[in-house]
Chains A and B, each alone.
Chain A
Amino acid sequence: MKLVEHFELGLDAPICLTWELTYACNLECAHCLSSSGRRDPRELSTEQCEAVIDELQRMQVFYVNIGGGEPTVRPDFWHLVEYAVAHDVGVKFSTNGVRLTPERARWLAASDYVDVQISLDGATAEVNDRVRGTGSYDTAITALRNLHEAGFRDAKLSVVCTRENIGQLDEFKAIADRFGATLRLTRLRPSGRGADVWDELHPLPEQQRELYDWLVANGDNVLTGDSFFHLAAFGPEDGSGALPGLNLCGAGRVVCLIDPVGDVYACPFAIHDQFLAGNVLTDGGFDNVWKTSSLFQELREPQTGGACSGCAHYDSCRGGCMAAKFFTGLPLDGPDPECVQGYGETALAGARTIPAVGQDHSRSAPSRNAPVLLTLSRRRPDAELVPPVSACAESPLAGFAPN
Chain B
Amino acid sequence: MCTVLIFHKFHPLIALVGCLCVAWFVQGCSKPSNVETALNENILHFGLGAEPQHLDPHLATSVAAHNILSALLEGLVSEHPETLKPVPGVAQRWEKLEEGKTYLFHLRENALWSNGDPVTAHDFVYSFRRILNPNLGAQYASMLHPLKNAKLYHEGKKSWEEANVGAEAIDNYTLKITLEHPIPYFLELLNHYSWFPVHRPTLEKFDAFEKMGTPWTKPGNFVSNGPFQLIEHQINSVIAVGKNEGYWDASSVRLEGIRFYPIESVDTEERAYRAGFLHLTQSVSADRIDYLKEKYPDELHFEPYLGTYFYRFNLKSPPFDDLRVRQAFSLAIDRQRLVDKVLKGGQTPANTFTPPGTGGFYPQPQFIHDPKKARRLLDSYLSEKGLERLPPIELTYNTSEGHKKVAEALHGMWNEALGVEIRLFNMEWKVFLSTISKGEFSLARAGWIGDYVDPHTFLHMWRSGEGLNMTGWTNASYDKALKLGETSNSEKERWENFQICEDLLANDFPVLPLYFYVHLTLRHPTVRGWYPTLLDHHPYKYIYLQKEEAP
Do A and B share a complex?
no
